[in-house]
C-alpha cells in the first residue's frame, strides 16, 4: 500500500512507522531509545508491582489454551503493574471501538479469538492505537532494533471485555 493511501488512516500510518522502527536498526527517525528503566524505578514513581506465582485456576485453562498461552506446569507466574493514573482510554477510541465494537452483531459473527498477522493493514492499525504504541515502544525500549518483532496481535472478548495480546518473537 502506498504511503499516501491508508485503509485505516493516521492510525495505520502510525503503526506502519512503528513496524519500520522495530525492524530497521538504520531507521534514523526512531524516537524511542533503549530503556534502562527497572522495576525499582517504577516503584519509586508510584507504580505498584505485584508478583504472584500460583497454580492455574481450571476455569482459565481453556481460554488461555485458545490464545496459545501455556497452561501446564507447576506454577503460573503473573506480574501486575498498576499505574498511578487511570489507563482507561488507552484502547478507546480505537480500531475496535470505531469498526468492531459498535456493531451489535460483532459478538455473534466474530466469537472467540481473532489473530491479526504482521504485514496486514489491520495489524498496522492496531499498533497505531494507544495500547499498540505502548506495546511497540516496550519492544523498542527493551530490545536492540531488528532483533525482535511483534509477530501478531491476538484479540478476544471475555465477559464483554476486550483483551489484546502482542506476541513478541526473535527475528531470524
Name the pairing type of β-strands 113-117 and 148-158.
antiparallel
Tell me the pTM.
0.65
Residue 151 has what pLDDT?
A: 95
Whether the predicted pLDDT of 111 surpasses 70? no
- How do the domains of the chain map onto residue ranges? 9-31+86-170
Q: What's the sign of the alpha-carbon dihedral 20, 23, 29, 30?
A: positive
Q: Which three cell numbers stand for residue 105?
A: 452483531
How sure is the predictor about 4, in pLDDT bands with cuts at 50, 70 and 90?
Answer: low
Amino acid at each position: 500500500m502506498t504511503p499516501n493511501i491508508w485503509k485505516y488512516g493516521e492510525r495505520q500510518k502510525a503503526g506502519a512507522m512503528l513496524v519500520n522502527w522495530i525492524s530497521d536498526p538504520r531507521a534514523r527517525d526512531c524516537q524511542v531509545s533503549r530503556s534502562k528503566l527497572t522495576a525499582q524505578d517504577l516503584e519509586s514513581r508510584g507504580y505498584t508491582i505485584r508478583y504472584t506465582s500460583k497454580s492455574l485456576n481450571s476455569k482459565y485453562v481453556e481460554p488461555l489454551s485458545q490464545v496459545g498461552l501455556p497452561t501446564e506446569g507447576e506454577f503460573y507466574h503473573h506480574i501486575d503493574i498498576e499505574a498511578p493514573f487511570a489507563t482507561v482510554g488507552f484502547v478507546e477510541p480505537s480500531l475496535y471501538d470505531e469498526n468492531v465494537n459498535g456493531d451489535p452483531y460483532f459478538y455473534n459473527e466474530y466469537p472467540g479469538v481473532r489473530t491479526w498477522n504482521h504485514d496486514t493493514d489491520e495489524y498496522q492499525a492496531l499498533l497505531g492505537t494507544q495500547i499498540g504504541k505502548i506495546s511497540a515502544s516496550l519492544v523498542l525500549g527493551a530490545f536492540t532494533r531488528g532483533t525482535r518483532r511483534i509477530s501478531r496481535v491476538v484479540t478476544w472478548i471475555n465477559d464483554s471485555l476486550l483483551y489484546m495480546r502482542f506476541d513478541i518473537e526473535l527475528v531470524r
